[in-house]
Chain A
Amino acid sequence: MQRKSLDVWVGLFVVLGVAALMFLALKAGNMSSLSFNKTYEITAKFDNIGSLRPQAAVKASGVVVGRVASITFDDKSYQALVTLNMEGSYQFPKDSSAKILTAGLLGEQYVGIEAGGDTSNLAAGDKIARTQSATVLEDLINQFIYSKAADGKESSK
Chain B
Amino acid sequence: MIGNWLERLGAWVRDYVESIGYGTRTFFTMLGVSPGLLRRPRLIVEQLHFIGNHSLLVISLSGLFVGMVLGLQGYYTLTKYGSEQAVGLLVALGLTRELGPVITALLFAGRAGTSLTAEIGLMKAGEQLSAMEMMAVNPIQRVLAPRFWAGVLAVPVLASIFTAVGIFGGYIVAVKLIGIDEGAFWSQMQGGVDVWKDVFNGFIKSVVFGIAITFIALYQGYEARPTPEDVAGATTRTVVISSLMIWWLDFMLTALMFSK
Contacts and interface: CB of A to CB of B under 8 A. Distances in A.
Do A and B interact with each other, yes or no? Answer: yes
Given A27-B190, A30-B191, 12 more contacts: A6-B45, A13-B48, A13-B52, A16-B161, A20-B157, A24-B96, A24-B164, A24-B199, A29-B194, A29-B195, A34-B195, A55-B194
B176 interface: no
A55 B198 CA distance: 14
A25 B164 contact: no
Interface residues of A, number: 26
B218 to A, nearest CB: 20
Interface of A: 3, 6-7, 9-10, 12-14, 16-21, 23-25, 27-34, 55
Contacts of A3: 42
B75 interface: no
A118 to B, nearest CB: 33
Contacts of A24: 96, 160, 163-164, 167, 199
Chain B: interface size category: 20 to 34
B199 A28 contact: yes
Contacts of A18: 160
A30 B53 contact: no
Contacts of A27: 167, 186, 190
A10 B160 contact: no
Contacts of B154: 13
B234 to A, nearest CB: 28
Contact of A20 (B161, B189, B193): B161
B190 A28 contact: yes
Interface string B175-191: 00000000000100111
A28 B53 contact: no
A30 B186 CA distance: 11
B68 to A, nearest CB: 16
Contacts of B53: 9-10, 12-13
B40 interface: no
A17 B160 contact: yes
A68 to B, nearest CB: 14
B49 interface: yes
Max count, chain A CB within 10 A of own CB: residue among B46, B92, B164, B198:
B164
15 contacts: A6-B45, A12-B53, A13-B52, A16-B161, A17-B156, A17-B160, A18-B160, A20-B164, A21-B203, A24-B164, A24-B199, A27-B167, A27-B186, A29-B198, A34-B195
